[in-house]
Structure 1
Amino acid sequence: MSINVLKKSLLAITVATSLVAATAVVAQPASSEKHAIKATELRQSVFKLLGSNMGTLGAMAKGKIPLDAVVVEKNATRIQQLSLMIADYTRTDTSKFNVKTEALAKVWQENDHFNKDIEKLTLASTTLIAAAKSNDESAIKKAIGGVGKTCGGCHNDFKKD
């Protein structure tokens, strides 16, 4: 990776960390079942978009489709932007209502841990953006793995099997 790309990456990571800290919020309980259902639907929309973008990256990392640095950068940018929305779309604690969800109540009970996991995703996606800009296939695949690892870590702690 060139020095300029590395400097830009470090700056982007610093900015991303600041954004995550600024967007972290404390959860508030849903005021009604209707509110809980709507909050769940919106939250699930963010995670579906994350999965959609991650799916393409995973396929590239596994060699199932050709690696394309432009697509990697686009999807990594989307993942980074979505990561900054997770705190907002999980701020409504829906755990007291019978809503169809795979989210565990730990999302709201362990808010600091959850917010740290969001920050890890933001940083990993920022690193992937920089790797895509370098057009270094090895760095790109490693950075895709880093994003995948953060996704999996959060799934292990906060999502039903």
Structure 2
Amino acid sequence: MKKSVLALSVLTSLVVATSSVAQPANSQKQAESATELRQSIFKLLGSNMGALGAMAKGKIPLDAAVVETNSTRINQLSLMIADYTRVDTSKFDVKTEALAKIWQEPEHFSKDINNLTVASSALMVAAKSGDEGAIKKAIGGVGKTCGGCHDDFKKD
């Protein structure tokens, strides 16, 4: 089961990454709309990571069912990132923390998206196992992919 979930995730991520070719926004209005949609994906990712981080740090009790739900959501959202970053808004004055590197380094950005997809798939598997150690380690893996992307593609 574990290998099939990860293999499917990797295959899906490669399809997503290779199909993501950014196009510049045509207008301020389009740039603002694209920014709002892109930020929505990342807000949802953050809301699902919040509880996981608290569980990994022992601030709240670990709940494998919540981990499974949240990791599934994170995985699904990871598959949407390429679509919602397809419009290059870097030439417009939009309120964003996204760096232009997203569109200047598409292979690097796609690799980071793929890393999140794979890490969230591993967390889904760990959650199903119920093994607290494996779950916490897998949460750390997802957090590491989020942090790595923030380091490279988000303003401080």
Matched, 1:90 2:85: yes
SS class of match (2:109)? helix
Q: Shift of residue 125 of structure 1?
A: 0.2
Matched, 1:21 2:14: yes
1:4 alignment partner in structure 2: none
Q: Shift of residue 17 of structure 1?
A: 1.1
CA RMSD of aligned residues (A): 0.5
Match of 1:129 among 119, 124, 130: 124
| Partners of 1:87 and 1:116 in 2: CA distance | 11
Matched, 1:52 2:43: no
Q: State the TM-score, normalized to the length of structure 1.
A: 0.95
Matched, 1:37 2:32: yes
2:57 alignment partner in structure 1: 62
Q: State the TM-score, normalized to the length of structure 2.
A: 0.98
Q: Shift of residue 56 of structure 1?
A: 0.5
Superposition misfits of 4+ residues, deviation over 4 angstroms: none
1:3 alignment partner in structure 2: none
Q: Shift of residue 107 of structure 1?
A: 0.3
1:153 alignment partner in structure 2: 148
* Counterpart residue identity of residue 121, structure 2: T
Q: Shift of residue 19 of structure 1?
A: 1.1
Write out per-residue CA displacement over residues 40-99 of structure 1, whole angstroms, 9 at most, x where no aligned residue.
000000000000000000000001110000000000000000000000000000000000
Percent sequence identity over matched residues? 71
| Partners of 2:3 and 2:149 in 1: CA distance | 24
1:5 alignment partner in structure 2: none
Unaligned runs of at least 5 residues, structure 1 = 1-7
Length, aligned pairs only: 154
